[in-house]
Amino acid sequence: MSESTTVSRRVRRKYPRHPAEWWAQFQDSSDRFDPAVVTEVLADEIVPKIISPLLRREAEIATEVVIRHLNKPTSAELSARARKATARLIATVDRLDARGTGVDLTTAETAALVHVLQGRYAEAASQAEAFIGPLPLIRAFVTALRLEYFDIGLTVKLIRAGQGPADAVRTGLLVGKYGWWPEWLLTIVADRAIAGTFDPEMVLALDRCAYAELSPAQARIARKLLTDDQGMIDLASVRLEALGEVTAAAQLRKGDLTAVALAARLIPL
């Protein structure tokens, strides 16, 4: 069996699997994707599940050598050692298979790890998801993105709610710039993002609310306005009109959320 050949296996699925193309969206979302990070985290999840002690020890050695290489990718010596260690792991699988003991030592876990060690992270995740589940793998990929001003928690929440990785990462990047917003605003962000209604207009409205000095009572009013409470929108519009803010009242009634901060500030303290 060659080094690049997928290890044959018998898969016992516990969880549904996303295709490799789904997992590949993570790596495509950042030009700072860190192979060493994703390799280490994926290996930490996969290696302990390898049943054979001999195979597990070979997997640990190969993983350690590959991570050293990934942390120093320009080292020709480490590159050669990483290839050799991965080839030795595959050879160990072949040797155990050749013994014909009737025990399936060529497991899905080992096959998934070989994908990891050879840089096929999306394929590895698709296979490992069957016996690990999606959440640890999602966290591994999101962490490996190495993005600044990035809301990891929200991104994971969106993916768990059914959004694709590419869309969830974009929202996590957008919201990450506004991590200083108060908690009540961030809650609205999560709710809107899960509902698929978080857009640039919403960002502008929330940013104005974040900058506005709102009392707790005014913040509650703003939250109701931002969550399309029609009764509160009508009351706030009447209040704006009474104070001469006719244009803002009309905007609020039309669903223009940029008037929310003004409406909330004009509520009596």
Structural domain spans, the chain: 20-146, 167-265
**Which DSSP letter does residue 7 get?**
P
Supply 44's token pair: 């930490």
**pLDDT 10s digits, 236-248:** 898 888 888 899 8
H-type alpha helices, the chain = 20-28, 35-46, 53-71, 76-98, 108-117, 121-132, 134-144, 152-160, 165-176, 183-195, 200-211, 216-226, 230-242, 246-253, 260-265
**pLDDT 10s digits, 110-165:** 989 999 999 999 999 999 999 999 999 999 999 999 988 888 888 988 898 888 99
**Considering the entire predicted model, what is its pTM?**
0.73
Instruction: Please state, for a pLDDT cut of 70, what percent of the chain lies above it.
Output: 90
pLDDT value, residue 1: 45
pLDDT value, residue 8: 39
Cβ distance 52 to 102 under 8 Å? no
pLDDT-derived band at 61, boundaries 50, 70, 90: very high
